[in-house]
Amino acid sequence: MSSSANRRVLSGMRPTGQLHLGHYHGVLKNWLKLQNEYECFFFVADWHALTTEYEAPQEIAGSVFDMVIDWLAAGINPGTAKLFIQSHIPEHAELHLLLSMCTPLSWLERVPSYKDQQEKLSNRDLTTYGFLGYPLLQSADILIYKAGNVPVGEDQVAHVELAREIARRFNYLYGREPGFEEKAEAAAKKLGKKNNKLYHDLRRSYQEQGDTLALDKARAMLVSQQNISIGDRERLYGYLEGGGKVIFPEPQALLSPASKMPGLDGQKMSKSYGNTINLRESPASVGEKIRTMPTDPARIRRSDPGDPDKCPVWGLHQVYSDDDLKQWVQAGCTTATIGCLDCKKPVVDAILREQSPIRERAKEYQKDKETVKAIIADGCEVARDVARETMEEVREAMGLDYT
């Protein structure tokens, strides 16, 4: 099933401490855009956090609610996007287990993040079963909602690719449901007389003559059908090509625009580099952090000219300043007509302006934990209904629905 047909978006974030401006510019702003265009499910990946933080799970517990508050404060709209917690939907674990039965070990061992992270986090023992299964759990997260689109950063693309392979394998192994043809024919009847005929004509053109244009047309027609269920749609997709039922549509990575948010030292903003400004950092602390930020080392005295390209503050101007302001920095820095504190001032102002409404909204939510809990409960309920339905289908496909 193509992603354009499947308007469901799913993404998760691990609760490992306070969110910072890197998360805001790299992930949350993208989510804000998507929530108006797609049916969005966003969740707290607490089990994923546990794969690396299993020795200190208390930290996870402490971050779960704060992270949801950060999302809401940033403008995620719970009326549109569904927010939930992974561990509240135990079906993820059941699907992870069932998928583990048919996942070759080598598929997991060759996911690049497996070895990379083990080397990077060498202070922890990550030679665990759970850590090896990290991307498979992620596949279960994605597939259980039949999400077509998964917004992720570059480092997660290989995980979505694994989810595609898992979906394909599962469909191949278990997609041959008994009575498939009859069910597909019954689904085609629900398209109405005209579209039913069109569907069969196009299907024949594709199957008899390999006419891929006809295949595309038939798919496009299915996309425009509002009143058939996801299950029927997947049957009709599978039937077009002659195969079995598509239980799991193949998800696609929606690569988030690379975050240009630099940290205080000019490297990518990241908790592990200790160069972050938190989303809800106090104004005093923001001011202090920017004031003490390093600048072009050539500017020892106020009268020494500098080069913005050698200065991490310039990176922040790229994010926050318009062309006029940037020109002022270029001219002032290279001629030593402005000082570094002059140069930093508009950056501090811009960050405070950005954070102010976020901080205000966060304060409201913090005072009103019940509302946050209700938002999560509502999201969990919707998510769980979808997850339960998928699991019924999965158990049936695998022949595990004995009573």
Residues forming contacts to ligand SF4 in the complex (CB under 6 A) are: 295-296, 299, 306, 308, 311, 313-314, 329, 333, 338, 340, 343-344
Which residue, among 126, 16, 29, has the nearest Cα to 71 in the 3D structure? 29
143 makes contact, choosing from ligand TRP, ligand SF4, none, with CB < 5 to 8 Å by partner type, with: none
| Euclidean distance between CA atoms 72 and 120, whole angstroms | 31
Nearer to ligand TRP, 13 or 111 (CB): 13
**How near is the Cβ of 226 to ligand TRP at its closest, in Å?**
27
Least spacing, CB of residue 319 vs ligand SF4, in Å: 14
From the list ligand TRP, ligand SF4, none, pick the one residue 333 interacts with, judged by a Cβ distance below 5 to 8 Å according to partner type. Answer: ligand SF4
Q: Name the binder of 148 from ligand SF4, ligand TRP, none, CB < 5-8 A by kind.
A: none
Q: CB under 5 to 8 A by kind: which of ligand SF4, ligand TRP, none does 313 bind? A: ligand SF4
Return the structure tokens found at 332: 């002032």
- Residue pair 76/30 in contact (Cβ under 8 Å)? The answer is no
Q: How far is the CB of 114 from ligand TRP (least distance, A)?
A: 12
The CB density around residue 196, as the number of other CB atoms within 10 Å, is: 15
Of 222, 136, 138, give the one whose Cα is nearest residue 184. 222
In the complex, least distance from residue 314 CB atom to ligand SF4, rounded to whole angstroms: 5
Q: What are 121's two structure tokens?
A: 């986090």
- Residue 45 C-beta: closest distance to ligand TRP, Å: 4
> Hey, how many other C-beta atoms are within 10 angstroms of the C-beta on 311?
23
By beta-carbon proximity to ligand SF4, the closer residue of 141 and 296 is 296
Residue whose CB is less far from ligand SF4, 296 or 393: 296
Is the CB of 150 or the CB of 311 nearer to ligand TRP?
Answer: 150
Beta-carbon contacts of 27 under 8 Å, excluding residues fewer than 6 positions away, are: 11, 13, 151, 153, 256, 259
Give the Cα separation of 339 and 301 in Å (integer): 9
Structure tokens given for 351: 């960050």
When CB distances are held under 5 to 8 angstroms depending on the partner's kind, the choice from ligand TRP, ligand SF4, none that residue 72 binds is none
User: Which CB atom, from 191 or from 311, has the smaller least distance to ligand SF4?
Assistant: 311
Give the end-to-end CA distance of the chain in Å, rounded to a whole number.
Answer: 32
H or E, element range at 69: helix 58-74
Is 34:40 a contact under the CB 8 Å cutoff?
Answer: yes
Nearer to ligand SF4, 153 or 346 (CB): 346
CA distance 403 to 400: 9
Q: Which does 10 bind (CB under 5 to 8 A by kind): ligand SF4, ligand TRP, none?
A: ligand TRP
Shortest spacing between CB 269 and ligand SF4, in angstroms: 17
Residue 299 touches which member of ligand TRP, ligand SF4, none, C-beta under 5-8 Å by kind: ligand SF4
To ligand TRP, the closest distance from the beta carbon of 29 in angstroms equals 16
Q: Which is nearer to ligand SF4, 262 or 306 (CB)?
A: 306
138 touches, from ligand SF4, ligand TRP, none (C-beta below 5 to 8 Å by class): ligand TRP
Contacts 24+ apart (CB under 8 A), 282-290: 283/352, 283/355, 286/348, 286/351, 286/352, 286/355, 287/348, 289/264, 290/264, 290/316, 290/344, 290/347, 290/348, 290/351
Identity of the residue, 99 or 351, whose beta carbon is nearer to ligand SF4 in the bound complex: 351
Positions touching ligand TRP (CB under 6 A) are 10-14, 45, 48, 138, 141-142, 150, 152, 156
Binding partner of 12, given ligand TRP, ligand SF4, none, CB within 5-8 angstroms per partner class: ligand TRP
Of 135 and 175, the one with the shorter C-beta distance to ligand TRP is: 135
Minimum separation from the CB atom of position 308 to ligand SF4 (A): 4
Q: Are 333 and 3 in contact (CB under 8 A)?
A: no
Q: Quote the distance between the C-alpha of residue 50 and its chain's center.
A: 18
